Structure 1
Amino acid sequence: LYASYDTYEFTQLIGINPLEGLWGNFLEEHADFPKMRANSSSYRKNAWTLGLKAFGIDDPEFGHVLAETFPEERKGNPYVYEETFQVLDSLKGKYQLLLLTNGSPDLK
């Protein structure tokens, strides 16, 4: 499904994967981000609906509920490596830190 969208090649270039497509808003205005933003709602609904069907659950309404719920749940429960904050705390007094991404800053 993810590879069928016309923005697939762009997502591969900048390292955005199908999981990120389930919750990213792609708010940037340059490159193919506006296309990704336009596709995101249908991608999310289709991904969840097809995923449910793969498990024998034919319920498009529930797929739509999951498509709307997952982004908020994902943003509210980020995965952080156990040592992340310890490393950042040890570096912050010695170095100026910044976040550099080749992807959508909205996802970071």
Structure 2
Amino acid sequence: MPHPQMKVRAVIFDLDETLIEEETSNDASAVTAADIAVARHGVDRVALLTALRMRSRELFLSGPMIDYCRDIGISAREALWGSFTGDDSSVVQLRNWMPTYRMHSWTGALEEVGIDDPALAAELAEFFAIDRSRRHVVFAESEQVLHELKKKFRLALITNGAPDIQGTKIDGSNLASFFETIIISGDHGFGKPDLRIFQLALERLKVAPHEAVMIGDSLNRDIAGARDAGIGTIWINRYKRTLSVSHPVPDIELTDLRDLPKLLIPAH
């Protein structure tokens, strides 16, 4: 069944898992770091990575900065590599907690597979942070689609997260030049699905809600937030997730970005 076309003046994009690969980049860096432990101690790589994911998440959720991280949109895995630069008191607190968080995450993961080696934990923590900060994979169709849309529409980017992390991703993926405005939640103290971040984008683009469409992979943040702001929604469901009755229903669902230029018509 063909998708309906939408008449808009502006297209607002999410970043992670919409334009760039987030989880696969995290996985690749974690595997590369884990291989150091495999070479050193012959540990089971899968077991170590499973332990790292569980231990880091546990520490993150019970840590002192969980409320701030939820508000801004910082994940447990991002906390393993971000620099968290800036003078905001919450960012300073987060930055000060990071060495402890990372050390305990890697120490705990190694202990889970029978290795008591704090020096190795410190080495892996540093290696992962450096490797992940350099790894930026753009989905195959992203640049071409943005290039086509930029000819006809005003483009914006709204992304949740810490300014240095999201800024590193944007710079590393070379996508900044496509957008008239880029809004990072950590710069403002609130993130998607908060209405204010969508309203800020509309103000900067000088368009009404019905003249814009939000493109994103998160039903709860991108789709629900944009819908509440009166903005049209297109859900990018790359991993073929199933909608439940509790999920917000997008106007259109796509498995990638390729069909976007055909579905969007300039409104004059």
TM class, shorter-length: 0.7 to 0.9
Question: Conserved in 1, the CA contact under 8 Å of 2:82 and 2:133?
Answer: no
The structure with the largest alpha-carbon Rg is 2
Please report the TM-score for the alignment, with normalisation by the length of structure 2. Answer: 0.37
Unmatched segments (≥5 aa) in structure 2: 1-58, 167-268
* Superposition pairs of residues 1-108 of structure 1, within 5 angstroms: 1-108=59-166
CA distance in 1, matches of 2:74, 2:103: 18
**Segment of structure 1 superposing worse, 28-37 or 18-27:** 28-37
1:29/1:98 CA distance change after superposition, 3 Å: farther
Question: Conserved in 2, the CA contact under 8 Å of 1:48 and 1:66?
Answer: yes
Please report the TM-score for the alignment, with normalisation by the length of structure 1. Answer: 0.85
- Sequence identity percentage: 38
Give the number of the structure with larger relative contact order, counting CA–CA contacts within 8 Å between residues 6 or more apart. Answer: 1
The residue type equivalent to 1:72 in the other structure is I
The residue type equivalent to 1:17 in the other structure is S
CA distance in 2, matches of 1:81, 1:67: 27
Unmatched segments (≥5 aa) in structure 1: none
**Considering only aligned residues, what root-mean-square deviation do their CA atoms show, in Å?**
1.8
> Residue 80 of structure 1: CA displacement?
2.9
Aligned residues: 108
Runs of 4+ in 1 over 4 A off after TM superposition: none
Q: How far does the alpha carbon of each residue in 1:20-60 deviate from its partner, in whole angstroms, 9 at most, with x for none?
A: 00001111222511100111111111111111111222211
More strand by share: 2
Question: Conserved in 1, the CA contact under 8 Å of 2:86 and 2:92?
Answer: yes
CA distance in 2, matches of 1:64, 1:4: 21
The residue type equivalent to 1:50 in the other structure is G
CA distance in 1, matches of 2:159, 2:72: 9
1:99/1:50 CA distance change after superposition, 3 Å: same
